[in-house]
Structure 1
Amino acid sequence: MANPVPKPSYKRFKPTAKQRGNISPSVSQKVHERAGGRCERCGWAPGTFDPTGKRMGLQRAHLVRRWKLERTTEHDIALLCGPSVNSGTCHHWIDYTAEGREWAESFRMKLMGQYVQG
Structure 2
Amino acid sequence: MGLPFQPVPKPTHKRNKPTAKQRGAISSSVRQQVNIRSQDRCERCGKHISNVWTLEQAHIKRRWTMEGKCTANDLVRLCGPSSDSSTCHHFADYTRAGREWLVEFQTKLLEEST
1:21 Cα offset (Å): 0.2
2:84 paired with 1:86: yes
C-alpha displacement of 1:3: 8.0
Deviations 1:43-87 (A, max 9, x none): 011222xxxxxx521000001101111211000000100001110
Tell me which residue corresponds to 1:51: none
Q: Structure 2 CA distance, aligned partners of 1:7 and 1:88? A: 48
Name the Cα RMSD after superposition.
1.4
Distance 1:94 1:5 in 2: 46
Structure 2 residue runs without a partner (length 5+): none
Q: Name 1:16's counterpart in structure 2.
A: 19
Task: Give the CA deviation at 1:113.
Answer: 1.0
The aligned amino acid for 1:114 is E
Paired AA for residue 102 in structure 1: E
What is the total number of aligned residue pairs between the two structures?
109
TM-score when normalising by structure 2: 0.90
Structure 1 residues 4-83: aligned runs within 5 Å: 4-48=7-51, 55-69=52-66, 70-83=68-81
CA distance 1:3–1:93, change in 2 (3 Å)? farther
Over 6 Å off, 4+ runs:
none
How many angstroms apart in 1 are the aligned matches of 2:32 and 2:6? 47
TM-score, normalised with respect to structure 1 = 0.87
8 A contact 2:53–2:79 mirrored in 1: yes
- Supply the distance in 1 between the matched residues of 2:39 and 2:77 (Cα, whole angstroms): 9
Counterpart position of 1:108: 106
Question: Percent identity at matched positions?
Answer: 51
Q: Distance in 2 between matches of 1:8 and 1:109?
A: 42
In structure 1, the residue corresponding to 2:37 is in which secondary structure? helix
SS in 2 for 1:47: helix
